[in-house]
Each structure stands twice: as structure tokens, then as C-alpha cells.
A and B are shown apart, each in its own frame.
Chain A
Amino acid sequence: MLVVKNIHKSFGDAEVLKGISTTFEPGKTSLVIGQSGSGKTVFIKCMIGLHDPEGGSIEFDNRVFNKLKESEKREIRKEIGMVFQGSALYDSMTVEENVMFPLKMFAQNTKQEMLKRVNFVLDRVNLSGSNDKYPSELSGGMKKRVAIARAIVMKPKYLFCDEPNSGLDPQTAIVIDNLIREITREYNIITVINSHDMNSVMEIGDKIIFLKDGVKAWEGTKEDIFKTDNEAVVNFVYSSNLYKKVREVFLKDN
């Protein structure tokens, strides 16, 4: 269980996170949504330790992450997989080397065992046979899949994804969403996704957290989001005519 309690974070005079609390469960994909500037990225960066919150706590299975020493944090980080918005693949490495990198750094396996694991995860993200390609030779969707493969190669307990669908066409975005959901359920991972994409919310949002001006304004499931009368959520999620119609149809049918 990942428990966030009363997180505060400021940059200068600007208070970006104003006391956010929530929990994330294994086997479920949780989406953090909100307008640009609402604090989503800062929230996720606080959880993974790229920012230090000024107040509150982040507990990874009862280990208070933000109170640990740097060396102790590194141990928890080995259990975290992260998919970045821009994939963050190492340009000088091939797909195989990128995915093998965490294993080379932390695993005690032989080269053969590592290669077997790399091929397994590449197959899992439907990228078999792309081992020798460099990131510059890959499409946006392929880069995201390599990033997912690298994130799961160490069998993480926690998976964080920052805008995994940004810059992808709708079809590829659905493939990535489904892949993340399948992996989350298959390996019983705690998955937290930072997203703007309402398709993702509707498709894979086992839990949805809506941030507004650094505050958790709403929390619920994808089913709840149709029924909510929270004005801020309705205005954000149903900002397009298409989703307004979808909501009307849903409410009429139910």
C-alpha cells in the first residue's frame, strides 16, 4: 500500500501542494488528473523523491520515504519503476541495453539470465526483435513501450507513469493504457498515472484523483466520475462536447 498523508510543497512563495492525502492499492491503476499547473507533476515527483515535500509523509508499505536517509531511499527506489513523459531512454544505448540497464546495475544475475529477462519483457510489450535498435530509430509509441519494459524489468512493486499517452495517436494511446493496466493486474503493482487524457480516465481509472490548485478536489472511480456533481470535475472531464454527450447517455441509461 502506498499512503500519502497531508503533503505540502512550495516553490518560493508559491504553495503548489496544499495538504494532499490519499492511498494507492496494489493491482489497481490510479490516475491523477487536473488542469496544467494544478500540481500533478509536483505530486508525482514528491512521491518518487525527486522533490522533497515540506510537510506530510509518503509511506511505501509503512516505510516513510521522505524521512529516510538518501541511502535508504535508494533501496526503495529499486522497487519503483517510472515511465517518463518523454520516455527518457538513454540515447547511446540500444533497446536491449536500455532495458537491461537496471538489471546490470542492481541484479546479481548472469548475462544469459539478464538477456532472458530482457527478451521476456520486450515480448511482453510486443517489441520482440527490436533489441538492436537505438531510441532514435523508434516511433513515439515504441519508445513508450521500451520505457515500460525498462520500468518493469526489475519486477517493481510501484509503477509511476507521467503522461504516458502524451504525443501519441488515440489508437497507440489505448494500446499503452491497456498494457499498463494488464501489467498492473498481472504483477499486482501499485500503479499511479499522471494524465490529461480523458480516454485513459474512462478506460483504466480504477481510482481517479482530481487535483485543483494544489488540493485534492475529488476522488473516486471511473464509474463515480459519471455521476459526480462536483462542478470542478465536471467542467474538467466533460469539457469536450463528445464527453458531455457520453455523460448524458450514461446518466439517461442509469
Chain B
Amino acid sequence: MNNIEHIGKYFLMLLDVFKKPQKWNVFWDLLLREIDDLGLKSLGITVFIGFFVGGVVAIQTALNVDSPFIPKYLIGFATKRSMILEFAPTFISVILAGKVGSYITSSIGTMRVTEQIDALEIMGINSINYLVLPKVVAVLLFYPVLVVLAMFLGILGGWVAGVLTDLFFTEDYIMGIQLEFNPYFVRYAIIKTLVFAFVIVTVASYHGHKVSGGALEVGRASTKAVVWTSVVIVFLNYFLTQMLLG
């Protein structure tokens, strides 16, 4: 199958995803489970990465600002801008593409090779709608929360790093993060996050759903899903930035 055919089949899959769930109470149960599996269980890695990336950005900025003509509050300002505009939405999404994307592909792929998906379809259930829609809704609801949390923790991590290394004063840092706060940047980051979250779930689900063979193919599909999700995220990041900030 060539790439054009894959893209076509991916969009055809999306048509099946966005159909009305066959049973709403089953959908709500699945949605809660997916929020737990894909959202709450990603909280730890988001907290960890957000905090330390903020710390690294603050330290690197501080070490590179050695001119007396550049005010120290720029460290807080740069950390805030970097976390909100890029590191929280994009970096966290690429990490989640690896964690959540491979989980989705391998779980759906395993269901495919063990005939669990066939069992759904023979019962008259639209397997794509049943398996993918709750995941899409769960990440669209929860990933903005994760990314906003990562922004906050990144900024906090930057301050902690400064305090621990004595590279800048708390007052300067706080002045920096208060400087020229633009709420549109947060909206921009959330828009990016929603697009990336959608890509993570749907690309991973597509790769899982079309698996045929055995364990080896499931493994290959997971790898492919992570690679393609990351490529699409980086590509869309460029276009969304140009469209929304350019």
C-alpha cells in the first residue's frame, strides 16, 4: 500500500469515528476509562518533563545572558514564553505520541490479531467508532489540562532551578514572568494541543486497526505509528505557528 492510499484510508476511517455511538451509556463508561488510561496515567510523565524542561530553559537562558545590558528578568520572560509557546504543547505532545500512541496502536493491534475486533464487527458493532471515538474525546478533553499544567510546572521549575543555582533572583524571575503576558499565546498553545492530541489518537488507532499477522506486526505497527505521529506533529506545528502567529 502506498502512502497516498494510507492517507485516503485514514480519512475514510475518520468518517467511521465520527458517527453517533451505538449505545450512549457504553460510550460514557468507555470515555471515563480512556480518560483514566490516556489522561490520568500520563499525568506523572507530564509533571516530570514539564518541571525539568522549565528548569533547563531557565538555566540555559541565565548562562547565556552574561551581558550587563540585558536585564535579568529576561530569564523569567524567556522561560515563560518558551514553555507556553513551544515546550509545553509540542514537547509534551511528542512525548505523549510515544507513550500514548504506542499504547493505542499495540492495544488495538492486539485486538485485531486476536480477532477481538472481528468479534465486535460480527456482533454488528462499528469497531472504529466503538474503539476510537472515546479515545478522541478523552484526549481532547484532557490534554489541554495536561499542557496547561506543564506550562505552570515549567515556569515553576525554572524558578526552582534559579533558586537552587543562584543564577538569578526570585524578584527578577517573577517580574519576567509577569511581563507582557499575552493570553492569545495560551489559546494558541491549546489549539495546537487539540490538533496534536487528535493526531496522536487517530494516527495510532489507524495503524493498530489495520494490523494483520502476529506479535511482530503489532510491534512494527507501534513503531510506525510513533514515527508518523511525531512527523505529522512537527509538520503541523510549523503550519499552525505560521497560521496562528505569522
B22, B25, B118, B124: which contacts A88 (Cβ < 8 A)? B118
A77-B23 contact given A84-B115, A88-B116, CB 8 Å threshold: no
By a beta-carbon cutoff of 8 Å, the part of chain B in contact with chain A is 22-23, 25-26, 114-116, 118-119, 121-126
A77-B122 contact given A104-B23, A104-B26, A105-B26, CB 8 Å threshold: yes
Q: 1/0 contact trace for A29-66 toward B, CB 8 Å?
A: 00000000000000000001110000000000000000
Whether A88 lies near B115 (C-beta < 8 A) is: yes
A73, A88, A104: which contacts B119 (Cβ < 8 A)? A88
Q: Which B residues lie within 8 Å of A78 (CB)? A: 123-124
* CA distance in complex: A91, B126 (Å): 19
Q: 1/0 contact trace for A72-104 toward B, CB 8 Å?
A: 011111101010111011110000000001101
A50-B124 contact given A104-B23, A105-B22, CB 8 Å threshold: no
A103-136 interface with B by 8 A CB criterion:
104-106
Whether B26 lies near A90 (C-beta < 8 A) is: no
Among residues of B, the one whose C-beta sits closest to the C-beta of A83 is B119
* CA distance in complex: A76, B123 (Å): 9
Q: Which B residues lie within 8 Å of A49 (CB)? A: 121-122
Whether A82 lies near B119 (C-beta < 8 A) is: yes
Whether A106 lies near B118 (C-beta < 8 A) is: no
Whether A86 lies near B115 (C-beta < 8 A) is: yes
Q: Could you show 14 A-B contacts with beta carbons less than 8 Å apart?
A: A49-B121, A50-B121, A74-B124, A82-B122, A85-B115, A86-B115, A88-B118, A88-B119, A90-B116, A91-B116, A104-B25, A105-B123, A105-B125, A106-B23
A48, A86, A105: which contacts B122 (Cβ < 8 A)? A48
By a beta-carbon cutoff of 8 Å, the part of chain A in contact with chain B is 48-50, 73-78, 80, 82, 84-86, 88-91, 101-102, 104-106
Q: Which B residues lie within 8 Å of A90 (CB)? A: 116, 119
Find the residue from B114, B116, B119, B121 having the highest chain A CB count within 10 A. Answer: B119
A46 CB to closest chain B CB, in angstroms? 13
* CA distance in complex: A73, B124 (Å): 8
A85, A86, A102: which contacts B123 (Cβ < 8 A)? A102
* CA distance in complex: A222, B221 (Å): 45
Q: Which B residues lie within 8 Å of A105 (CB)? A: 22-23, 26, 123, 125
Among residues of B, the one whose C-beta sits closest to the C-beta of A75 is B124
Among residues of A, the one whose C-beta sits closest to the C-beta of B110 is A91
* CA distance in complex: A174, B1 (Å): 44
Among residues of B, the one whose C-beta sits closest to the C-beta of A90 is B116
Find the residue from A73, A85, A88 having the highest chain B CB count within 10 A. Answer: A88
A117 CB to closest chain B CB, in angstroms? 16
A84-B26 contact given A74-B124, A75-B124, A77-B124, CB 8 Å threshold: no
Beyond the given A88-B114, A102-B123, could you list 20 further A-B residue pairs with CB under 8 A, ordered by the A residue number?
A49-B121, A50-B121, A74-B124, A74-B126, A75-B124, A76-B124, A77-B121, A77-B123, A77-B124, A82-B119, A84-B118, A88-B116, A89-B116, A90-B119, A104-B23, A104-B25, A105-B22, A105-B26, A105-B123, A106-B23
Among residues of B, the one whose C-beta sits closest to the C-beta of A48 is B122
* CA distance in complex: A42, B139 (Å): 38
Q: Which B residues lie within 8 Å of A84 (CB)? A: 115, 118-119
A50-B122 contact given A85-B115, A88-B115, CB 8 Å threshold: yes
Q: Which B residues lie within 8 Å of A106 (CB)? A: 23, 123-124
Q: Which B residues lie within 8 Å of A73 (CB)? A: 124
A49 CB to closest chain B CB, in angstroms? 7
Among residues of B, the one whose C-beta sits closest to the C-beta of A89 is B116
Q: Which A residues lie within 8 Å of B25 (CB)? A: 104
A191 CB to closest chain B CB, in angstroms? 15
A12 CB to closest chain B CB, in angstroms? 13
* CA distance in complex: A78, B25 (Å): 19
A69 CB to closest chain B CB, in angstroms? 13
Find the residue from B26, B116, B122 having the highest chain A CB count within 10 A. Answer: B122
Q: Which A residues lie within 8 Å of B123 (CB)? A: 77-78, 80, 101-102, 105-106
B23, B116, B118, B126: which contacts A50 (Cβ < 8 A)? B118
Q: Which 6 A-B pairs have the closest CB atoms?
A: A77-B124, A74-B124, A88-B115, A88-B119, A84-B115, A82-B122
B63 CB to closest chain A CB, in angstroms? 49
* CA distance in complex: A49, B122 (Å): 8
* CA distance in complex: A48, B115 (Å): 14
A143 CB to closest chain B CB, in angstroms? 11
Q: Which A residues lie within 8 Å of B23 (CB)? A: 104-106
